[in-house]
Amino acid sequence: MKDLLRLKTSLNEEIENILNAQIKVEAHSSSVYLAMSSWCDDQGYDFSADFFAKQSEEERKHMMKLFNYVNDRGGRAISPEIVNIPADFESFRGVFEQMLEQEMYVTQQFNNIADKCIKLKDFVTFQFIQWFLEEQIEEEYVARRILEMFDVIGEEGTGRWEIDKHVHKVSYEG
Ligand SMILES: [Fe+2]
Ligand SMILES: [Fe+2]
């Protein structure tokens, strides 16, 4: 019977823990983007409000992709508790700066997971997270391109209004 119990999961405990930590990071990202969406809406940046609402949904999907993976491998995914979500942001530009910082942090976390997978020889999880690493190229690219618009268009006069109109048009072709 004991042997059967051990066969229940093929996931190393450390890998299970680090994936659960990432589930929490994705859930946190989703909530922060939702807060940004609400702030943008309140400030009259309607296109950005939509943009961040979609980003929030994307992060929720990332969370569920990790969540299902942990359970499918016989581990136990933990529904994360999310705290410290801001309601206020300093500026329109600041919101996108925070987006880039958040995405760079997420990329770093996936690099750490990849590193752990190699150390523990979990090549299945290593392969699984490649999708996320590729996704991060796009996420960082979009945030950087939008921040560039602040420099190119400028924030004076109708600048912010113009930037808001173009936010959702930024895409990564790969
Ligand atoms: Fe994500
Ligand atoms: Fe993201």
Tell me the CA–centroid distance for residue 59 and ligand 1, in Å: 5
Percent of the chain with pLDDT over 70: 95
Q: Is the confidence at residue 8, as pLDDT, over 90?
A: no
3-state secondary structure at position 159: helix
Task: Give the residue, 88 or 174, on which the prediction is more confident.
Answer: 88
Ligand nearest to the CA of 103: 2
The per-residue pLDDT for 97 is 98
Amino acid (1-letter code) at residue 159 = G
Q: How far is the CA of 26 from the centre of ligand 2 (A)?
A: 8
With 80 as the cut, is the pLDDT of residue 17 above it? yes
Report the C-alpha gap between 168 and 54 in whole angstroms. 10
Which tens digit of pLDDT belongs to each residue from 105-162?
999 999 999 999 999 999 999 999 999 999 999 999 999 999 999 999 999 999 999 9
Predicted confidence (pLDDT) at residue 1 exceeds the cutoff of 60: no
Residue for token digits 């909530």? 31
Q: How far is the CA of 27 from the centre of ligand 2 (A)?
A: 10
Compute the distance between CA of residue 171 and CA of residue 174 in angstroms, rounded to an integer: 9
Q: Looking at the CA of 62, which ligand is closest?
A: 1
Average pLDDT, the chain: 94
Amino acid at 154: G
Per-residue model confidence (pLDDT) at position 173 = 84
Q: 48-86, pLDDT tens digit by residue?
A: 999 999 999 999 999 999 999 999 999 999 999 999 999
Give me the amino acid identity at 93.
R
Please tell me the predicted confidence (pLDDT) of residue 10: 81
pLDDT band at 93 (very low <50, low <70, confident <90, very high): very high
Under 8 Å between Cβ of 129 and 18: no
Q: Is the pLDDT of residue 3 over 60?
A: no
Q: Which residue has the tokens 């990432």?
A: 22
Q: For residues 13 and 131, is the Cβ–Cβ distance under 8 A?
A: no
CB of 46 within 8 A of CB of 27?
no
Q: Give the closest residue to 100 by CA, choosing from 36, 24, 173, 40.
A: 36
